[in-house]
Structure 1
Amino acid sequence: MKKILLLAVICFTTLCSYAQFESSKQVYESPKLKEAIRTHKLVAILPFNVKISYKRPPKNFDAAANRQQEIQMGKNIQGSMYTYLLRKADNYTVSFQDVEKTNVLLNKAKFTDSLEMHTKDEIAKVLGVDAVIYGNYDQETTKSEAGAIVTTALLGFGSKTGEGGITMQISNGADGEMLWRYTKRMNENLLSSTDDVVERQMRKISRNFPYSK
């Protein structure tokens, strides 16, 4: 009986901590947003800038390999976001450029490794789009995979193994001005994939997404 009660308390505490942590979000809308998006027809999604950190770095931590993982995750988020928006294309007032085309054009212009060195209107001109979606994602792992597996086995679902935060922005292609910004913190767990993270966030973002009909 004591074990069942303890397990119930752990489950309740875990769920409460999830709800509390994931309740934090901020949305900014430029006074020019509504006027600007009326002229938008094609929007590009850029690779996200990703930062992966560890509360306690794992053994044999390789900084170069970690950086490659960050770059790959940035492209994964870009691709997952495009897939999500494509699935719900009828809900939006604009079309989204195929991310493969976006990345080819960025590579041809030699922008791929220096996006932060170019203004958003410069990038939009190279891509031939009316606006660009871009952002940051930071992830800090706070629990070992082994510890997460044990907790998952006890509770029956993926437990919190870290914390993450996503910032998504839209800038006008004509002048590079930021029109919209969404920021939210969230929990991570052992079972989360990039697709899962984007799916969860886009469901929340869709309530405030400026291109929604």
Structure 2
Amino acid sequence: MKQKLSLFIALTLLCTFKVFSQGSKQIFESPKLKECVKNHHLVAILPFDVKISYKKPPKDFSAEANRDQELKTGKSIQSGLYTYLLRKADKYTVTFQDIDKTNIMLKKLKLIDSLDSHTKDDIAKALGVDAVIFGRYDEQSTRTQAAAIATAVLFGFGGKTGDSSFTMSIGNGADGELLWRYYKKMNEGMFTSSEDVMEQQMKKLARNFPYSK
């Protein structure tokens, strides 16, 4: 009975604990950044480009289902970023376009599925904004969550389930020039969601975010 209780407590703690390890962080700022940001008033957040891969694909792997998950995750990161920025709206010098409006306009203009084929200034002009925030999230799963849990319960460590990298950039609406870029390489932990990723990264780059007052 005691062993079962201990196992239950361990699993409960693991389910509420998220593991993020520090990795390499890089920030790029264009010489024109400060000058351009002064003229920005409305900024759109685009769905993130997501790539999910496996060191060893699971037995039930489906390329179609995996692509659907990538698209879903891209919009989830977009939503997580928008929610975070809304919560702290008074701390920023710009207003962020509602992502529902952004996505509907992109769909109507037939841009939603071909963002990589258009320049950032073309997209900004189509959306009627001064700049666009865009990014990429790459994740390679090296082991299953079940395996990570088993290792952690038995040995007290081993929660890592994969490697990932997160990139967020700002493109100037007037000329499409890259004004700012943040890159972070991470180790993914158990039960890490896209919302968790966004929350953690925004906390890390808060001081360097160009639109912070």
In 2, distance between residues paired with 1:43 and 1:151? 44
Relative distance call for 1:204 and 1:155 in structure 2 (3 A) is: farther
Indicate the SS of the match to 2:179. Answer: strand
| TM-score, normalised with respect to structure 1 | 0.87
Partner of 1:212: 212
Instruction: Note if contact 2:50-2:138 (Cα within 8 Å) is conserved in structure 1.
Output: yes
How well do the aligned residues superpose, as a CA RMSD in angstroms?
Answer: 1.7
Partner of 2:145: 145
Q: Letter of the aligned partner of 2:176 in structure 1?
A: G
In 2, distance between residues paired with 1:202 and 1:43? 17
Deviation string for 1:115-135 (max 9, x for gaps)? 111110110011110000001
- Given the alignment of the two structures, is residue 33 of structure 1 paired with residue 50 of structure 2, yes or no? no
Partner of 1:130: 130
Instruction: Note if contact 2:45-2:96 (Cα within 8 Å) is conserved in structure 1.
Output: yes
1:195, distance to aligned residue in structure 2 (A):
1.0
1:25, distance to aligned residue in structure 2 (A):
0.6
Instruction: Note if contact 1:158-1:191 (Cα within 8 Å) is conserved in structure 2.
Output: no
In 2, distance between residues paired with 1:186 and 1:98? 29
Partner of 1:5: none
Partner of 2:101: 101
Higher relative contact order (CA 8 A, sep 6+): 2
Deviation string for 1:108-153 (max 9, x for gaps)? 1000111111110110011110000001100010112221121343
Relative distance call for 1:158 and 1:125 in structure 2 (3 A) is: farther
Partner of 2:23: 23
1:156, distance to aligned residue in structure 2 (A):
6.6
Partner of 1:59: 59
**Percent of aligned positions with the same letter in both sequences?**
63
Instruction: Note if contact 1:158-1:189 (Cα within 8 Å) is conserved in structure 2.
Output: no
1:157, distance to aligned residue in structure 2 (A):
8.1
Query: Which deviates more from structure 2 when the two are superposed, residues 151-160 or residues 57-66?
Result: 151-160
Partner of 1:75: 75
Relative distance call for 1:203 and 1:112 in structure 2 (3 A) is: same
Indicate the SS of the match to 1:160. Answer: coil
Instruction: Note if contact 2:106-2:112 (Cα within 8 Å) is conserved in structure 1.
Output: yes
Q: Letter of the aligned partner of 2:206 in structure 1?
A: S
In 1, distance between residues paired with 2:139 and 2:155? 23
In 2, distance between residues paired with 1:28 and 1:77? 21
Q: Letter of the aligned partner of 1:30 in structure 2?
A: S
Indicate the SS of the match to 2:207. Answer: coil
Partner of 1:4: none
1:18, distance to aligned residue in structure 2 (A):
6.0
Partner of 2:6: none
1:23, distance to aligned residue in structure 2 (A):
3.4
Q: Letter of the aligned partner of 2:150 in structure 1?
A: V
Partner of 2:49: 49
In 1, distance between residues paired with 2:144 and 2:194? 19
- Given the alignment of the two structures, is residue 182 of structure 1 paired with residue 182 of structure 2, yes or no? yes
Partner of 1:194: 194
Instruction: Note if contact 2:23-2:187 (Cα within 8 Å) is conserved in structure 1.
Output: no
Indicate the SS of the match to 2:195. Answer: helix
In 1, distance between residues paired with 2:52 and 2:124? 28
Instruction: Note if contact 1:165-1:186 (Cα within 8 Å) is conserved in structure 2.
Output: yes
**Mind listing any 5+ residue stretches in structure 1 that lack a counterpart?**
1-16
